[in-house]
Amino acid sequence: MSVTAQPAPPPEPGTPDPAYEAAPSTLGVGVVVWLASELMFFAGLFAAWFALRSANDAWPPEGVELETARTALATLVLVSSSGVMHLAVVASRQGDRRAAARWLGLTAFMGFVFLTNQLLEYTAASFQIDDHSYGSIFYLMTGFHGLHVIGGLIFMGAVVAAIVGSSRAPAETTVEVCAYYWHFVDVVWVFMFLTIYVLQ
């Protein structure tokens, strides 16, 4: 006696299709691939730092003073913002768009605090980008990272506008992709802070 397998019944109207839910987000995959390329870019900057460091006896050069304590506090703020971003992701998964927007706004504010410290560092620095190789690589590394932070703030602003606007599209995927980017920015800065301010 043969048994014929019956096809699975179609999902009820309004019920999410499991096959659709299992498919990876196109936006998410694109951002992850882009972040991988950005990782290679920052790896090149770190390689340049250590190459210059090994080629110069005085590193950092005489007269270079960094605001290590203040930047450590700004680093703590930036790292803490990753936790706040996670709360935005949790809120979006629960369907609470307003709460997700509020957490994103707080994350953006913490990123702005970090950028303010970076601007103060540049203003008070005793050296410029063209003074020596240390100045060149310092401003390149921190400057490009600062641009990524600014990009993250713009990204968050666009996500907030989308999830609190008239669109009823699910906010979870968009917020999660924004979180991928922000966590990447935070992790890169932790290694940058350790390299520039701690190990020197």
Q: Which two tokens stand for residue 15?
A: 């019920």
How far apart CA 29 and CA 153 sit, in angstroms, is 21
Residue-level pLDDT at 11: 54
Name which of 111, 37, 71, 44 is nearest 200 in CA terms. 71
The per-residue pLDDT for range 16-73, each reduced to its tens digit, is 455 445 556 776 777 778 888 888 999 999 999 999 999 988 898 888 899 999 999 9
Homologous superfamily assigned to 26-199: Cytochrome c oxidase, subunit III, four-helix bundle (1.20.120.80)
User: What is the overall mean pLDDT for the chain?
Assistant: 87
Answer yes or no: are the C-beta atoms of 173 and 27 closer than 8 Å. Answer: yes
**pLDDT of 168 above 90:** no
Residue-level pLDDT at 173: 87
Name which of 32, 20, 53 is nearest 134 in CA terms. 53
Residue-level pLDDT at 158: 93
How far apart CA 51 and CA 71 sit, in angstroms, is 24
Higher pLDDT, 137 or 28: 137
Residue 147 Cα to chain centre, angstroms:
11
Residue-level pLDDT at 171: 82
Going from N- to C-terminal start, the domains of the chain cover 26-199
How far apart CA 116 and CA 152 sit, in angstroms, is 15
Answer yes or no: are the C-beta atoms of 92 and 163 closer than 8 Å. Answer: yes
Q: pTM here?
A: 0.83
Residue-level pLDDT at 14: 47
Higher pLDDT, 5 or 107: 107
